[in-house]
Amino acid sequence: MMSLWRFAVGSILGVTAIASSIARQYVGPGLVNGDTFIHDPTVVKTPEGTYLAAYTGDYVQLKTSTDRTTWRNAGAAFPNGAPWTTPYTGGAKNLWAPDLTYANGQYYLYYSASTFGSSRSAIFFATSRTGASGSWTNHGLVIESHANSNYNAIDPNLIIDAQGRWWLSFGSFWSGIKIVELDRNTGKPINSNNLISIASRPDNGGAVEAPVIIRRGNYYYLWVSFDRCCNGAASTYRIMVGRSTSVTGPYVDKAGKSMMQGGGTQMLASHGSIHGPGHNAVFADGDGDVLVYHYYRNDGVAQLGINLIRYDNGWPVIY
């Protein structure tokens, strides 16, 4: 009887230790306060040293912060509406997955128009000198996909490579993540038919989306989200990464597996009361690279997550 009791207690302690170990492998988000609701965030540091965020919402929503901790709502990028997106949204106000870059003395905003589960989608872009609500000039369609396309034109991300060439990565489900070269003068593809595939999940229902590419040292790092977003606390989103010496790939994970074959090193997943962390962005700040993402609280409300990134042996570590 005593042996059975010891076995039972040992088993319970073992399970508890495993659960505790799993919980400890992911760092919690850093302190944020103020208006902390966000979904699909992107953040840039402004020339004044403050922070501008854009996120999925009515006509692309904006937030600002002076210290990267306290955030306040700053209105819509297009407060008077975005009628040019109606063919893709059916008239809905919700515009998705914006991407912010500051270059050439202005802000570049790439953003998506679609409806949930559809590949009838489009990416547009706009510019602003200030980033403020109502200051954005829309420059029209960048790339689109159709019901019979094998890709989905949402979740854009602009990367400027080591040679100064501009590239846009994008994609969600279907055949995965694509990248296309842009004309830096127009912000639009040089050849929209020349799409290069850089990540896919052929054995997992195609569940990869939200690419972000950054360049650090000799490597380009491709961050993506695996699995399912947008189901509140039941979301299974998780953040993955791979790297390449070329912006167009091939990207591989830490184990050497190609991201075209479902590879990716897991960086952050659900833990404790942090549910479905994903759709991240990365930007440089004075204290290093900063990871921003959304996650869901226990009540299903999306929140802003912020952590720092360091690099160990050429691989990112979230802390």
Q: Catalytic residues, which ones? A: 40, 209
Cα 230 to Cα 61, 114, 234: the distances in Å are 17, 15, 9
Please, are residues 170 and 178 in contact by the beta-carbon 8 Å criterion? yes
Q: CA-CA distance, 119 to 145, in Å (whole number)?
A: 6
Q: What angle do CA 110, 282, 240 make, to 5 degrees?
A: 100
- Interacting residues of 11 by C-beta distance below 8 A, sequence separation 6+: none
- Interacting residues of 279 by C-beta distance below 8 A, sequence separation 6+: 39, 40, 41, 97, 155, 209, 210, 225, 229, 237, 293, 294
Rounded to 5 degrees, what are φ and ψ at 69? -115, -50
Surface-to-core class of residue 161, CB atoms within 10 Å of its CB (0-12 exposed, 13-18 middle, 19+ buried): middle
- Interacting residues of 216 by C-beta distance below 8 A, sequence separation 6+: 289, 311
- Amino acid identity at 306: I
Tell the residue number behind the tokens 């595939």, with chain if given: 197
Tell the residue number behind the tokens 């489900």, with chain if given: 173
Q: CA-CA distance, 241 to 133, in Å (whole number)?
A: 33
